[in-house]
Structure 1
Amino acid sequence: MRKSLTLLASVAVLATGCVGRTPLRSSSTLKVLDAQTTMPAPTRADLIAPDRQSLIGPLDNISVDVFGIPEFTRDVQVDGSGRIAMPLIGTLDAGGKTAQELSSSIASALTRAGVKRPDVTVNIKASVSQVVTVDGQVTAPGLYPVTNQMTLLRAIASAKGLSEFAKQDDVVILRTVGNQRIAGLYNLDAIRRGNYADPQIYANDVVIVGDSPQRRLFRDFVSLAPLLAAPLIAIVQ
């Protein structure tokens, strides 16, 4: 019985902590409009994501188009070491290059092989190297493609949202910059409320959503509630 009452008290404290949420207010980075004010439409520039370099990596699928020379136009998969094989020029390093850089490398190799003024275009058709790992308390942990517009909230949405026991103020982004491992701690609720910007996500980032013991405690309380009902009624009487 004492354990049951302790559980009830804990849940009551948790419920109290959920009351009295601070209202959303304008700040230097956020303008809050009331329900009677129409939100302005975005400009054309707002609808275009800033360009972010996409690098070719191992096992990516790319297309190579050499204008006027059909035998050199093909779809190619980058091998595990980051190289591709092309007729006449053999193997080339593709890993770590942009599509434009690889186009230039192929054109230079074709020129050395005797092709006059080759016009080469490379496109990344499918990338398995430009991904973010989303782990922890999300519905569908896994690897997800990184696009120009990828942010923390979008990465979590890609993983089908938070799980039952997710702790919104304990979300970590792990990133390697140079040889330095960096961890950033974020609060999803604060981001949703505009307290600070939704952070950008880059290829090879790892997002980890923490576990909430309080949510587990609440789940345990709900499961025990039918068993606690009779003793509690008897105590009240």
Structure 2
Amino acid sequence: MALVAAPGHVWAEGRTLTTSDVVTIKVVGQPDLDTATRVEPDGTINFPYIGRIKAAGMTEDALARIIEKRLAARQIVTEPHVLIEVTNFGTQVTIQGQVNSPGAFTVDRTTNLSQLLARAGGLRDTATTVTIRRQGPHGPVTLRYDGKDLVSGKINGDRVFIQNNDEIYVDQSPFYYVYGYVGHTGEFPLIRPLTVQQALSIAGGISPLGTDSRMWIKRRQADGQTMEVPASLDDEVQPSDTIIVNERIF
């Protein structure tokens, strides 16, 4: 005679399962069938009297319904009601590039992009595009988000959910360089459109010995060659430009 389970239960949709998740499966009123099992690399779990069941990619709710149907079909339990809970999460993601603490992270609960970036120490000032690469049902998928828009809230990172084995890379902003008679020479991030005048201001301005009438820009061309062109204060700075401020002629 088949066993009779306890009254019904209302289920939420639940989390989507992934490989290495550990799930606890309870058949209400049937403690002998309570099972803790891991989602194997092939995406399956093993359940008493049923055998192997595909679990990866299914929600907790969907998997519970399948187990109920199979228990009922094999007359193991009459009108079974199954509860599934993920007790150990197997999701692993990596984040590299312009974050303060890059590395690999275990995601032990439903996690969005904003939360993951926070765990990685947040975006650096030099961060630009945030790229997520993942394996979709029909092949590789690439998602790109503007880092500034994520920080400002223009793009809601709370709505971008992380999946198992996601690879996230945060690009670095381009740079420009300033040399010669300025307050501070060196490399500067080009995180927004700048004129030469604005770029020089960031570099501490033209020193008393320098002049804005004898400036040059070394600029790389599309063919890889570098050209040196006269520069004015209103010129727009391009990535990898080198601005050279020469000495004033007295």
> Shared topology, TM-score over 0.5?
yes
Q: In the alignment, what sits opposite 2:170?
A: 209
Provide the alpha-carbon RMSD of the alignment: 3.7
- Which 5+ residue runs of structure 1 have no aligned equivalent? 1-50, 222-231
TM-aligned CA deviation for residue 132 of structure 1: 3.9
TM-aligned CA deviation for residue 220 of structure 1: 7.2
Structure scoring higher RCO (CA < 8 A, sep ≥ 6) equals: 1
Of the three residues 72, 76, 79, the one matched with 1:117 is: 79
Equivalent residue runs for 1:1-237 within 5 Å = 54-111=15-72, 112-129=74-91, 131-138=92-99, 139-145=101-107, 148=110, 150-151=112-113, 153-162=114-123, 167-179=126-138, 181-198=140-157, 200-204=160-164, 205-212=166-173, 214=175
Asked if the contact 1:171/1:207 (under 8 Å) is kept, the reply is yes
TM-aligned CA deviation for residue 61 of structure 1: 0.5
Q: Secondary structure at the match of 1:160?
A: coil
| Residues 1:162 and 1:109: Cα distance change in structure 2 (over 3 Å) | same
| Residues 1:55 and 1:193: Cα distance change in structure 2 (over 3 Å) | closer
Q: In the alignment, what sits opposite 1:9?
A: none
TM-aligned CA deviation for residue 81 of structure 1: 1.4
| Residues 1:187 and 1:66: Cα distance change in structure 2 (over 3 Å) | same
Largest Rg, 1 or 2 = 2
Asked if the contact 1:142/1:159 (under 8 Å) is kept, the reply is no
| Residues 1:190 and 1:146: Cα distance change in structure 2 (over 3 Å) | farther
Distance in 2 between the 1:178 and 1:98 partners? 16
Distance in 2 between the 1:52 and 1:135 partners? 32
| Residues 1:185 and 1:120: Cα distance change in structure 2 (over 3 Å) | closer
Asked if the contact 1:146/1:201 (under 8 Å) is kept, the reply is no
| Residues 1:102 and 1:72: Cα distance change in structure 2 (over 3 Å) | same
| Residues 1:140 and 1:57: Cα distance change in structure 2 (over 3 Å) | same
Q: Secondary structure at the match of 2:126?
A: strand
TM-aligned CA deviation for residue 76 of structure 1: 1.4
| Residues 1:98 and 1:220: Cα distance change in structure 2 (over 3 Å) | same
Q: Secondary structure at the match of 1:97?
A: coil
Calculate the TM-score normalised by the size of structure 2: 0.55
Asked if the contact 1:168/1:187 (under 8 Å) is kept, the reply is no
Distance in 2 between the 1:99 and 1:108 partners? 15
TM-aligned CA deviation for residue 182 of structure 1: 4.3
The one-letter amino acid paired with 1:59 is S
Distance in 2 between the 1:169 and 1:135 partners? 13
Asked if the contact 2:23/2:86 (under 8 Å) is kept, the reply is yes
Q: Secondary structure at the match of 1:133?
A: strand
Calculate the TM-score normalised by the size of structure 1: 0.58
Distance in 2 between the 1:219 and 1:72 partners? 71
Deviations 1:140-175 (A, max 9, x none): 321342855613x32211212235xx6322322334
User: Which protein has the bigger helix share?
Assistant: 1
